[in-house]
Structure 1
Amino acid sequence: MQINSYLFILPRTPGQIVWDYKNHRQFELNLEYSTRLAQLISNPDLYNDNNRIDIQLLNSGILTTSIQDTIDWGWDELSKIFHIGTKNIPCEYVPQNIHEWSRYYLDHCTEVLEAPAPNARLTERQARELIALPEPSCLPKDSLANVLIGRKTCRTFTDEAISLEDVGTLLYLSLGYLHERENDVDETIVEGLGARRSSPSGGGLNACEGFLYVQNVSGLQPGLYAYHSTNHALSFVNPAPDSPLGQLLCGQHFINNLPVGLFITARFDKLWWKYEHSRAYRMAYVEAGHISQTFQLVATALGLNTWLTGALTDDQVETLLGLEDNAEQPLFFVGCGHSDGQVMCKELKDLLSRREPQQ
C-alpha cells in the first residue's frame, strides 16, 4: 500500500482538507480520519483490510495500490502542485462538434453576464483628473504599428494551404536562434546562454520550445513536428491524430480546419537549472506569451489571420507530442491561416441570432 503522491493537506479547524490535485478531488477529514491517515503516512504497511477508514481512504484514492514513479523535474513542490493541478480542465462534457460547442459557449457567456460585473478598476475610481494624450501620428506604410493594429483573433479559416516558406519564416522569427544577432554577444555572456531569439526570455535560457501541428502545409505531410531552434529545422514526431484538432483543444471545433499551429512548450528542467524557486514558474508563461504574440505579429505581416488558446486536453497533447512524464510540457497553442476575418464562427452566429428576443 502507498500514499497517493499527488496530495497536499491543508489544516482547517476542526479538521483538515486533503486535496488530490492531479485528479481534482477534495476530501475533508475529521480527527479520527486524520489520525489514521497520519499513521499510514508514517507506515503504509499498517493498512488493514478490515479497517473501515482504511477501506474508505483506499476507495477515495488517498491510498493506492499502484506503484507511483516520481518524476525528477528539478523543480520544487509548490510549482509542481500548481502545474499538475491546473492540467486537464475539469468539465462535465467535452463538445463533440461545432454545434455542441456553440451551445455550451453561448450558455456559459449568458450565465457569466447574468452575474454582477466586477467593480471599476481602482485607479479609475480614484482618478480626479485625466491628462489627455495626443492622437497617434500618421503611421508609415508597412510599419510595426500597422501590423499591431491589423492583428486580431479569428475563428473561421479556409482550407487554403500555407506555404512551407511562410512556415519557415514564422518559426525562425518566433523561436529560431537569430543568426543576425550572433555578433551581438559580448564576453559577459556565459557560454551556453548566448543564443538570441526575437522575444525576451527569463535569464536568457530560452526555456520555451515549439511543436508544429501541420494539417495543410505545402511540402509537409500532416502530423506533429518538433522545431529545432539551433538548426532551424523540423523533425517528425507523430502522424496527425484521427480526432479533429478541436478535440485536443477542449472541444473548440470551429478550429478544425486550421492549416497550421504551434504548441508552445516549456522546459522546466532548464528553467530550474538556473532559478531554483517557485517564482521562476511564472517566467515559463511570460515567455510563452512573448512567443505567442511574436508568432501572431509575424503571421499578420505575412497576410495571415491568427487564433490562440490555453485550453488544452493536456494528457492527449502530451501523448501526441511524446512528452508523457517529461520535464518539457505544453502550455499554449497558437495557429494561423487564411480567413474571412470573422471573430465569431458561423454556427455561433446562427445560434445567437435564433436566441435573440424578437423586437
Structure 2
Amino acid sequence: MVPIAERREKEIGLRMRTSPHIVIYFQVRQLVLENYITRQSFQGGPATVLLLDYFTIWRTAAQALRDLTGYTEESIVDSIRNLRDHGLLIAEDSEQDRLENRFAKKWLWPNASRYYHFATKLDEPYSSPEEIRNYYEKYLKGTKQPAIYKTYPERPKIRLLPDSGAEAPLFQTLRLRHTTRDFSGGSISLKQLSRIIYYTWGKLSTYKTQEFGHLLHKASPSAGARHPIESYAVVNNVEGVRRGIYHYSVKDHSLELVKAGDFRERCVTFSAGQTWTRNASVLFLMTAVVERTAWKYRIPRVYRAFLLDAGHISQSFLLVSTALGLGAFCIGVISDLSIERELGIDGVNETAIFAVGVGCSSKEKGDFEKGAEVH
C-alpha cells in the first residue's frame, strides 16, 4: 500500500487540464457543469468555475496551491479531486485524456452538435410496458392530440388523381409496407439476407472523381457520397449461417464474423428493452464512421447527414424486405453504449446510430395492430 504522504505528493504533482467538452447551465438555482463525453455532471459555484478557468492550460495542484490565494490547501485539493472524479479535470496521459484527444481530432464540428449526440445516448432500457402505460395515464389521457393533418381550407384546391398502384411493383410494395413487431421466430434464407443487404448497404457501382477519387454508388443517397454508415448483422435465424454478430464488408459483399454465439437476449438490450426484437431473424446495428463525413464537411449542420443517411437506408431496407414478403421494422430507441461496448467501437470515431430488423411475420397481430382498423 502506498503511504498517504507519498500518494498526496504524487497527486499534487500531477499535470491536469480542464476538459474542453464541458457545458454549464442553471438547474433549480444550481450551477451544473457537465462533461458530455463522459456523461458526468457536477454541481458547483463561482469558485468551481474559477478553478476550471485556472486549469485551462496544463497545471498541477501544487501550482494551484501557490497561485490561488484566499483558499485553504485542503479545500483546493478536495475540489481538484472532486472535479477529476467527475470528469471535469483530466489527468495528463490518462484514459480520458486519450479519449478526448481522439474526439477532438475526429469531431471537427462545434460543441452544439457534439453535445446533442453524446447527451442523447442511452445505456439502459427505455421504458417498460408498465412505465409506458403510466406515462399515458399521467400525461396523455384526456388531453387533446395535435391534428394529424395540416390544411388550408380557404385556399383553392386542385384534386389529384387517385392511384391504385397497379402499374409497377414498386407502387405495390409501397402500399404493402408496414412495421412488423410480431415474428414467428422462423428462419430466412441466405439468398433473402444477401439481397436485403445488397440493396440496402451494398455497392452497386463506383465512379471516379478528380478531387475525391473513387466514390460509391448505393441504392440510398448519402451527403457527398461519403456513405459513413456501417452495418453489423446480429444473425439469430438464417438458414446455413451460424448465429453471431457479423460486420458487412461493402468492399467484397461479405459478412465478417465479429463474435459467434446466441445474441437473441442481447438484441433486447441493444433495443433498450424492446423484447420483441429477440424473435427477428436478423437485427442490423447501424453505426457511423464520423471522419468519413467530417473530413470533407466541417460545418456543424452536416452532423444531420448521419441521421438523414440512416433514414434513407432504413426506407430502402423496409421496401426490399417487404418486396421479399418479410416483416421488417426500424427503431431509433437503442442502447447506444451497450452496442458500442459489444462491437468494440469507441463511440467517438465510430458511434451507434440506428437499428433495423427483419424476420418472418407471425400470423398473430402484434400489440400495436390489435384493435386497429385499416381504412
Partner Cα distance (2:344, 2:140) in 1: 40
How much has 1:254 moved relative to structure 2?
Answer: 1.8
2:281 is aligned with 1:255: no
Deviations 1:12-47 (A, max 9, x none): 699854222235454453323322332244454136
Alpha-carbon offset, residue 83 of structure 1: 2.1
Going from structure 1 to structure 2, the CA distance change for 1:212 and 1:16 (only over 3 Å counts) comes to same
Query: 1:201, 1:287 within 8 Å by CA — same for their partners in 2?
Result: yes
Deviation at 1:245, TM superposition (A): 1.2
Count of aligned positions:
336
Partner of 2:353: 331
Q: Deviations over 1:278-336 (max 9, x none)?
A: 11111011011100110010000000011111122222211222313551222110001
Structure with larger Rg: 2
Structure 1 unmatched runs, 5+ = 351-359
The one-letter code of the counterpart of 2:204 is L
Asked if 2 retains the 8 angstrom alpha-carbon contact of 1:74 and 1:273, the reply is no
8 A contact 2:267–2:283 mirrored in 1 = no
Q: Given the superposition, is the C-alpha separation of residues 136 and 240 from structure 1 closer, same or farther in structure 2, using an over 3 Å criterion?
A: farther
Q: Structure 2: give runs of 5+ residues left out of the alignment.
A: 1-13, 66-72
* Structure 1 residue 8 corresponds to structure 2 residue 22: yes
Question: In structure 2, do the counterparts of structure 1 residues 292 and 157 end up closer, same or farther at CA, with 3 Å as the change threshold?
Answer: same
State yes or no: 1:143 paired with 2:169: yes
Q: 2:35 aligns with which of 5, 20, 27?
A: 20
1:88 aligned residue: 122
Aligned-pair CA distance for 1:80 = 2.9
The match for 1:207 is 228
RMSD: 3.3
2:250 pairs with 229, 244, 262, which one?
229
Q: Secondary structure at the match of 1:210?
A: strand
Query: Partner residue of 2:52?
Result: 37
- How far is the alpha carbon of 1:114 from its aligned partner? 3.5
Does 265-274 or 54-63 show the bigger shift?
Answer: 54-63
Query: Percent identity of the aligned residues?
Result: 25
Cα distance change on mapping 1:132 and 1:75 into 2, 3 Å: same
Q: Is this contact kept in 2: 1:205–1:270, CA < 8 A?
A: yes
Shift of residue 6 of structure 1?
A: 6.9
TM-score normalised by length of structure 2: 0.77
Residues 1-359 of structure 1 correspond to what in structure 2 (within 5 A)?
Answer: 2-3=16-17, 5=19, 7-10=21-24, 17-42=32-57, 44-46=59-61, 50-51=74-75, 52-58=78-84, 60-63=86-89, 67-68=95-96, 69=98, 70-71=101-102, 72-78=105-111, 79-88=113-122, 94=125, 101-114=128-141, 116-117=143-144, 124=151, 127-129=153-155, 131-140=157-166, 143-179=169-205, 185=207, 190=211, 192-240=213-261, 243-325=265-347, 327-340=349-362, 344-345=366-367
Residues of 1 paired with 2:209 and 2:313: CA distance? 25
